[in-house]
């Protein structure tokens, strides 16, 4: 979803800032940045790298 939002924001000329868990892959961050978005990494609450939990999403939402 982040990459899709970044594409739309760029096409409309709007800035886009994505907040995402550190549990996401570095590739996902690079893809979103490639579409012109700023990415803020939020520390992972629980789970393991590559596995983002609901708590991780909640933490990103709270920081946002």
CATH code linked to domain 2-63: 3.40.50.1100
pLDDT tens-digit series, residues 6-57: 999 999 999 999 999 999 999 999 999 999 999 999 999 887 888 898 888 8
45 with 25: CB under 8 angstroms? Answer: no
Q: Give this prediction's pTM.
A: 0.83
What is the DSSP secondary structure assignment for residue 3, as one 8-state letter?
H
| The predicted structure's pLDDT at residue 37 | 97
- Map residue 41 onto helix, strand or coil: strand
* 8-state DSSP, 50: T
Integer Cα distance of 10 and 61 in angstroms: 22
Give residue 57's pLDDT.
86
Q: How many CA atoms lie within 13 A of 49 on its CB side?
A: 6
- Sequence ranges of the domains in the chain: 2-63
């Amino acid at each position: 979803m982040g990459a899709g939002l970044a594409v739309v924001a760029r096409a409309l000329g709007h800035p886009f800032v994505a907040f995402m868990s550190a549990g996401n892959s570095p590739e996902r961050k690079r893809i979103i940045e490639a579409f012109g978005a700023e990415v803020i990494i939020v520390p992972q609450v629980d789970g393991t790298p590559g596995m983002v939990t609901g708590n991780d999403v909640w933490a990103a939402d709270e920081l946002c």
